[in-house]
Chain A
Amino acid sequence: MKIAIPAEDKSMDKNVYVSFGRAPYFLLYDTKTKECEYLDNSAVLNQGGAGIRAAQVIADNGVKALITPRCGENAEKVLSSAQVFIYKSIDGTIKENIDAFCAEKLSLLTDIHPGFHGNEQK
């Protein structure tokens, strides 16, 4: 199963990026083959609609689960239409989050925020 995680750097030892749409990279990880791949997030500089574009990339790559600290409502709409489950990340590195996901210790993200719409918080 393919999962995705927003990443600040191309390293699994770094923490999960604080938001989804504006993350510099997405780590795509295959839980079966343990293969991983980093995608540049082309939406990072988008004036608006970053969450939608980022969600599109996730959906297009056949991802089944996204692990993120938060997610806006537009991105959520794309992801849920594409049957991508959204899990809430835990404090810690990307690696620790992948391990927690594989051990079924992560819960689904329920507090979808209304989006920052140009007022992205750093």
Chain B
Amino acid sequence: MEMSKNKKVFAVLSGKGGTGKTLLSVNLSAVCNESVYIDCDVEEPNGHLFFKPANVYEEEVTVKIPTLNSNLCTGCRKCADLCNFSAIAIVNKKPLIFEEVCHSCGGCVLLCEAKALYEKDKAIGKVQSGTSDNVTVKTGILNTGEASGIPIIKKLLKDILKSNKITFIDCPPGSACIVMESIKDADYCILVAEPTIFGSHNLKMIYELVKLFNKPCGVVLNKCIDADNPSERFCNENNIKIIGKIPFDTELGTLNSDAEIASRKSEKYQEMFSSMLEKIIKETDA
């Protein structure tokens, strides 16, 4: 397919995990001539398991955490009073800092007249970049136990608007802040939904989210069987474009559980995902 005029950014999201975000975004990336795949599911990134990228370059992601120079501290308590997250307690007239509670706002350091607080870098994870044939594969990895993956997503998506390749963002599941951060710069959102009542409820949640962000969107119905599909009903009732349907089939499931990229292994799936790609590109050109 000719992609030269398309440098669009597509975010793939779903209301819960295991719906098929990675299946879809990996395969859509793979059927492009040239693309960037960005795994923003930083708590459990798994797109790299399919792409097995080569020439991986890794960078650490850090946040700023206050540190105390005890000799300068006057015990004024301004830092603790300011902190909305109670990341600082004052005991024996000195701050006690709870790094894992800190949200790195930097307010305490700004407010410290005695300059007893200064910032140090704390590593919270890393971003990796590598290649898998036609796809640039970027992965965010949050260290276990860290509170927020948002700084990692910010780093992953920093240069996204400068990219001259079509980009797919594999979002974290759900509709929380971390998903909002992931879709912020997307031109179009692709919502993946399961054919159950629970699935349609999750679809509704993310549909409301993308509407709030004024993002155009379409739905891919995954795990489709020959039966009533509550998610499809939701799309029809709300006039939401259905980009495509992925069947609930053993061959696809097997390829996927073997960490193979279905569209690279089978012509049938190559055609299926290519036709979805064509549709979303048409949607964004319109």
Q: Interface-forming stretch among A3-11, A48-56, A87-95?
A: A48-56
B91 touches A47 (CB 8 A): no
Known pairs A47-B85, A82-B92; list 20 more (Cβ under 8 Å). A48-B85, A48-B86, A49-B86, A49-B87, A52-B87, A52-B89, A53-B89, A55-B89, A56-B80, A56-B86, A56-B90, A74-B98, A74-B101, A77-B96, A78-B89, A78-B91, A81-B89, A81-B91, A81-B96, A82-B91
**Cα(A53)–Cα(B87), bound, Å:** 9
Q: How far is the CA of A46 from the CA of B98 in the complex (A)?
A: 15
Chain B min CB distance to A104 (Å): 26
28 A-B pairs, CB-CB below 8 angstroms?
Answer: A46-B86, A48-B85, A48-B86, A48-B101, A49-B83, A49-B85, A49-B87, A49-B101, A50-B86, A52-B86, A52-B87, A52-B89, A53-B86, A53-B89, A56-B80, A56-B86, A56-B89, A56-B90, A59-B89, A59-B91, A74-B101, A77-B96, A77-B98, A78-B96, A81-B89, A81-B91, A81-B92, A81-B96
Interface size on B, residues (CB 8 A): 12
**Is A52's CB under 8 angstroms from B91's CB?**
no
Interface membership of A71, Cβ < 8 A: no
- Decide if A43 is an interface residue (CB 8 Å cutoff): yes
Interface size on A, residues (CB 8 A): 16
Chain A residues within 8 Å of B91, by CB: 59, 78, 81-82
Q: Would you give the shortest CB distance from A79 to chain B, in whole angstroms? A: 9
When chains A and B are docked, how far (Å) is the Cα of A46 from the Cα of B83?
11
* Contact yes or no, A43 B86, CB < 8 A: yes
Enumerate B90-105 residues with CB–CB distance to A below 8 Å: 90-92, 96, 98, 101
Contacts of A77 in B (CB 8 A): 96, 98
Set of chain B residues within 8 Å of A52, measured between Cβ atoms:
86-87, 89, 98, 101
> Smallest CB-CB separation from A50: which chain B residue?
B86
| Interface members, chain A 15-68 (any B CB < 8 Å) | 43, 46-50, 52-53, 55-56, 59
A49 CA to B90 CA, complexed, in Å = 14
